[in-house]
Structure 1
């Protein structure tokens, strides 16, 4: 295989082929007793891509991948790109109804599913929720090998014809209306942001990277899978976060890189079994997605047994529409790392819209990694990105003289639970279908472990169903219809919700 220059590495298929040429037999993935080299990864991806093509995937076609972190997830995602398709990752904890809606909206040709994950019946639930009229086949991730076909020159020409400006992926994020919006990114953007993050973090070939962040999220996918391809690091995918297994892997596999939400590190630090584990191999941790206490950063950096002894701890700010915007740098003091999200990464810029006396205002971001736009929604795109290319984030922030960003509030009602964005409007719309419930408002409230959790303020209906409605009923209904991280953990009954003259719920009063 001919060498490919970094300048030419602007698409996922090109980066994959370059990784195989550059890193060869070096392990790309380790999962349980399975180790897959970069050469073998390319071979499996090509065979799976040939199978996808045989099943009707054409350039520009969409493939939904619904499952937890695994080598098979990676192969399915990269095969989609290699065949010229567009990857649509969906949350592994979504219900069949939620996933079916996204399959129909994207007109997906193939759906790749981890059937049976968490003891559920994903394929049956999916088919019960929709006729899936656009779908040629639903493929079980556990049987992905049965999809493989012999690759040929036509397939490789397809991979070579993928352009840097072609849409690589559509990642869905909810808006304040509760309607999910599909943020589209080009190949050059997904590759570019991964390269910038890898360079700032100093990720290298000899790193062993434990990927707790889910692949369906931009962080696990772009800052996990794509960073691995660019650097040659060995990735260890974790399907679900398990504290004992995390510590075992760090100790046994000498893990060096562990990004994650603050809850990951808080759980590690709080576990009494940590003192019996050797976690000294950790050298890089990147966190964010919530307010990070200064003491957490200090303890992450502190030597064992008081801390984790991580050499480099940095924070970052990003969103589905831009992935990574700002990032702290090596050598930044602990209080700066904890109280700010760092400075704009190369290729991105930030500014505050109409700052007040304290310097705060809505955060605007602009640059190479801002999404192309929302799928089939020009109005929402125009509302989010102004004529000068500034993305209006909906977050309130302050920039110091060095450009370090501090998020102070949210214009939107979104809160972050365990590293996942939760949009109350979506939860409220679902709960309003519950018999006996007349009105509801959901807000995020502080939680020591999850950062924030949902609290539902419920007004009972004036009916027999309303009179008998309990907090357990509300939570059970939410669990049936929503992903687990969206389910409110607290319920408070009230006679009426506080509203302004225009009828809008005064959520500040509820908080």
Structure 2
């Protein structure tokens, strides 16, 4: 394993990153020089190892340049979703303690109301009023490394049951810049076969953990990464054929969209160069995965992990075909299934999934949430529920706190419920995921109105519009049903499963 700066010396003219639609590209030499200039700029602004920056931008080359500048200057870099509201973005900027914030003209409207005081607000290309020019200030810096290079890390945000996003922070270790994540090495090099000859195709938004980390590993390994501006099913197939793509990282929604293409469209493109298609982020329906393996061959590799990086299970296509529905066996940490008494459950019994002997993590500024993720033995959990078979393969049967996964994006119902309950017409509310053929799940709300006579399409539209004023549209319900009263226990706890189960087909009995 190595670092792009080393490849810049050995293969300076090789393309490191290329945009799929525009064709714009940067070589390893250019990536090295641009990331050095960014590192010098951060130092000139007073940022030292362990400090934070944040960025909000569409998929573009500068996204990766800035992340590498932060990585080689020991900074934590927080990539923010373009689909959040100004209020949500402001919270993350403040919570992570960003001293520098960088955006683009395309995303400027999301943050123009935030430009006051700290942090320093920068913009790529032509800066709008109130923003400093990242391009001009970075271009004035040296292209050689900063004197005190040290490895920085991403600090990405994942919502919690409290409704507020929480930063997942890796402890600052003071490593050399060429010390890679063992967790990522297993997924990319060992399991997916990525190496210096790889052409990696990245179809997802870069602000998500897996796409960002895979794109960085592609250049750690010395390969070339082709980044799609946005995902399109046919365009993905076209890019695979055009660039002779060898590996890609996808979510099940992308599989669904490609399988829905007409047969003649799917047959039009040669995807035989693909050697590894890794997927995670959401459960993949068994029939969808079977059809993808039939189409692409046994090259699908599934993993189960969180942004927390506290453990990983992996399943190859061959393993999955003989253990249908599994998310694999542990390759980082050891899977433990615990019952309600925090005791290890026997094989085949459903319980909460923990990882033992695994990397530690903390939730930034939330010691209580961090504490709840660990048990007395020091094992950690993402809150998922499942069971192990006799061969140690893990099967997930439920997800943390009824978290909704729509198109590979995690959505936490509490945040949406907290907004809807503020509406004067709402007496009680429950939010959960319901089946959606393309996205896996979509957001559904069930509302107990103060006046049941108001229940209907007009109030439904009013509540959805109200929610969209405060939250990203992806977190807002696509539809709302109304009930006279929501099911609660005598102690006031909402029994959400009684509502949710009405919308889900009964799961088949487990063998």
Indicate the TM-score class for this superposition, using the shorter chain for normalisation.
0.7 to 0.9
Q: Aligned partners of 1:154 and 1:203: how far apart in 2?
A: 29
Q: Out of 280, 283, 307, which is 2:275 matched to? A: 283
Tell me the equivalent position of 2:373: 384
Residue 471 of structure 2 is aligned to residue 482 of structure 1: yes
Tell me the equivalent position of 1:12: none
Higher alpha-carbon deviation: 66-75 or 148-157:
148-157
User: Does the C-alpha gap of structure 1 residues 155 and 58 become closer, same or farther in structure 2, counting only changes over 3 Å?
Assistant: farther
Q: Aligned partners of 1:23 and 1:392: how far apart in 2?
A: 42
Residue 71 of structure 2 is aligned to residue 81 of structure 1: yes
Paired residues of 2:201 and 2:247 also in contact (CA < 8 A): yes
TM value normalised by structure 1: 0.86
Q: Aligned partners of 2:202 and 2:259: how far apart in 1?
A: 18
Paired residues of 1:112 and 1:138 also in contact (CA < 8 A): yes
After the TM superposition, which residues 421-436 of structure 1 pair with which residues of structure 2 at under 5 Å, given as runs? Answer: 421-436=410-425
User: Does the C-alpha gap of structure 1 residues 509 and 169 become closer, same or farther in structure 2, counting only changes over 3 Å?
Assistant: same
DSSP 3-state at the match of 1:352: strand
Residue 334 of structure 2 is aligned to residue 349 of structure 1: yes
RMSD of aligned alpha carbons? 2.6
Q: Aligned partners of 1:279 and 1:105: how far apart in 2?
A: 43
Alpha-carbon distance, 1:137 to partner: 2.5
User: Does the C-alpha gap of structure 1 residues 96 and 126 become closer, same or farther in structure 2, counting only changes over 3 Å?
Assistant: farther
Alpha-carbon distance, 1:435 to partner: 4.0
Tell me the equivalent position of 1:3: none
Paired residues of 1:460 and 1:493 also in contact (CA < 8 A): yes
Q: Aligned partners of 1:318 and 1:369: how far apart in 2?
A: 12
Tell me the equivalent position of 1:445: 434
Q: Out of 385, 394, 397, which is 1:396 matched to? A: 385
Q: Aligned partners of 2:123 and 2:453: how far apart in 1?
A: 45
Paired residues of 2:39 and 2:146 also in contact (CA < 8 A): no
DSSP 3-state at the match of 2:292: helix
Tell me the equivalent position of 1:138: 122
Alpha-carbon distance, 1:342 to partner: 0.9
After the TM superposition, which residues 176-325 of structure 1 pair with which residues of structure 2 at under 5 Å, given as runs? Answer: 176-186=161-171, 191-198=181-188, 199-222=190-213, 224-272=214-262, 273-302=265-294, 307=295, 309-322=296-309, 325=312
1:11-35 deviation digits (Å, cap 9, x = unpaired) = xxxx332343454322111112212
Alpha-carbon distance, 1:174 to partner: 1.3
1:299-354 deviation digits (Å, cap 9, x = unpaired) = 2122xxxx2x2451121101121276111136324252x51111111x42211113
Q: Out of 39, 55, 60, which is 1:65 matched to? A: 55
Q: Aligned partners of 2:241 and 2:450: how far apart in 1?
A: 54
Paired residues of 1:457 and 1:491 also in contact (CA < 8 A): yes
Structure 2: tracts of 5 or more residues without a match: 127-132, 340-344, 501-511
Residue 490 of structure 2 is aligned to residue 501 of structure 1: yes
Paired residues of 1:55 and 1:137 also in contact (CA < 8 A): no
User: Does the C-alpha gap of structure 1 residues 326 and 21 become closer, same or farther in structure 2, counting only changes over 3 Å?
Assistant: farther
Tell me the equivalent position of 2:25: 35
Q: Aligned partners of 1:472 and 1:450: how far apart in 2?
A: 22
DSSP 3-state at the match of 1:412: helix
Alpha-carbon distance, 1:269 to partner: 1.2
Q: Aligned partners of 1:194 and 1:23: how far apart in 2?
A: 23
Structure 1: tracts of 5 or more residues without a match: 1-5, 10-14
Paired residues of 1:316 and 1:327 also in contact (CA < 8 A): yes
1:177-223 deviation digits (Å, cap 9, x = unpaired) = 2122211124679722211211221112222211123222210122x
Aligned residues: 479
Higher alpha-carbon deviation: 318-327 or 188-197:
188-197
Tell me the equivalent position of 2:45: 55
Q: Aligned partners of 1:396 and 1:429: how far apart in 2?
A: 25
Q: Aligned partners of 2:311 and 2:28: how far apart in 1?
A: 26
User: Does the C-alpha gap of structure 1 residues 504 and 380 become closer, same or farther in structure 2, counting only changes over 3 Å?
Assistant: same
